[in-house]
Amino acid sequence: MKDIFGMRLEELQQVLAEFRLPKFRAKQVAEWLYVRGAASFEDMTNLPKGARAELAASLIIGRPRLKTRLDSADGRTSKFLLEFADGTAVETVLMRQPYGNSICVSTQAGCNMGCAFCASTLHGMARNLTVGEIAGQAVYINDMLKKEDGGKVDTVVIMGSGEPLMNYDNVLGFIRLLHEDYVLGLGYRNFTLSTSGIVPQMYRLAEEGLPISLSLSLHAPNEELRSQIMPINRKYSMKEAVTAAANYAEVTKRRVTYEYILIDQLNDNEKEAEELAGLLKGQLASVNLIPINPVKERNLLRPSQARIEAFENYLKARHINVTVRKEMGTDIQAACGQLRNKHLQDK
């Protein structure tokens, strides 16, 4: 049976034409799918009864189901484990920020990039998510916010499990779908895509003409250390990835963010701060320092506050735009992949 969740209006029109339904019906169905939360065709009360039964006999609405929800003690972060029809489960995080509700979506079930600090990669990658499965995470949380306090999703960070540029077409399809006014109507500037540095696709993304923000997971300021922390560096070097990020900034005129996980004694010394400042000198860029969220399966430790501040101040003194990510949800295993791993272990 064909799943229609994740289809754009034009695709819905084509599918409904097979059931001899006119174009305006597709708009109604889209509204039921993305705004009004219909779980079945029976819920779509403005469709003729006969059509509802006919559609239900051949089509499905593949919304994710909630498996687990964890709320942080301060109520600002909620983490969801959402499950699709085949039993695949992924994590989605909601962060209630002062500037609005931000969600972090997964694009693959697991990941095979092998980053040393990351729990998402411990079991490899099960599969790519479809457009509907990525969109399903956003629509699920948007519906929930609407019911809870009349809120909505304001910004989307594509930084959950998976390397989004390894699932390029579906991720771009997801961004375009959410932008549509019959879905969430989100401006492209409200999306941030984070990559470990898949260089050819970074160039391709720059040519899409979408003003989405790009962030590059750098995590080390030299080739040797980056290869140690991120195996992808052996395929696409740091130099190539930084050049591709600079090209993205140049073409889109959007500032690129460099994510840098601070790991005690490994990449948080003055030597690395100096190399990082040299690498980004003169670029339209900012650095986001992320003190590592300890993952028990990995023996990588969080630096002391003094070391974090020293690293930050070194960069500031060299006129690098730098922020330290505020901790959110450490009490609910908000680090990417931890909840899903627990789910896999419990299975």
Residue 233 in contact with ligand SF4, rule: CB under 6 A: no
Instruction: Choose the catalytic residue: 104, 111, 118, 336.
Output: 336
Q: Smaller CB distance to ligand SF4: residue 91 or 272?
A: 91
* Residue 115 known to be catalytic: no
Neighbouring CB atoms inside 10 A of 147's CB total 10
Among 64, 132, 136, 162, binds ligand SF4 (CB under 6 A): 162
* Residue 91 known to be catalytic: yes
Residue 163 in contact with ligand SF4, rule: CB under 6 A: yes
In the chain the beta strands, taken as DSSP E runs, fall at 2-3, 59-60, 65-71, 77-83, 89-97, 100-104, 108-110, 125-128, 155-158, 191-195, 213-217, 256-262, 285-291, 321-324
Residue 161 in contact with ligand SF4, rule: CB under 6 A: yes
Q: Smaller CB distance to ligand SF4: residue 16 or 111?
A: 111
Residue 196 in contact with ligand SF4, rule: CB under 6 A: yes
Nearest distance in Å: CB 297, ligand SF4: 13
For residues 94-133, which are near ligand SF4 according to CB under 6 A?
111, 113-115, 118, 120-121
Q: What is the CA radius of gyration of the chain?
A: 21
For 310, the enclosing helix (H) or strand (E) is helix 305-317
Instruction: Choose the catalytic residue: 11, 54, 91, 111.
Output: 91
Structure token digits, residue 142: 């948007």
Dihedral Cα 173, 174, 177, 183, nearest 10 deg: 170
Number of residues that bind ligand SF4 (CB under 6 A): 12
Nearest distance in Å: CB 117, ligand SF4: 7
For residues 239-268, which are near ligand SF4 according to CB under 6 A?
none
Q: For the chain, what is the total number of helices (H) and then of strands (E)?
A: 11, 14
Instruction: Assess contact for 290 and 261: CB atoms under 8 A.
Output: yes
Q: Smaller CB distance to ligand SF4: residue 161 or 341?
A: 161
Instruction: State the Cα–Cα distance between residues 301 and 294, nearest whole angstrom.
Output: 6
Query: Which active-site residues does the annotation give?
Result: 91, 336
Give the residues lining the site for ligand SF4 (CB under 6 A).
111, 113-115, 118, 120-121, 161-163, 196, 336
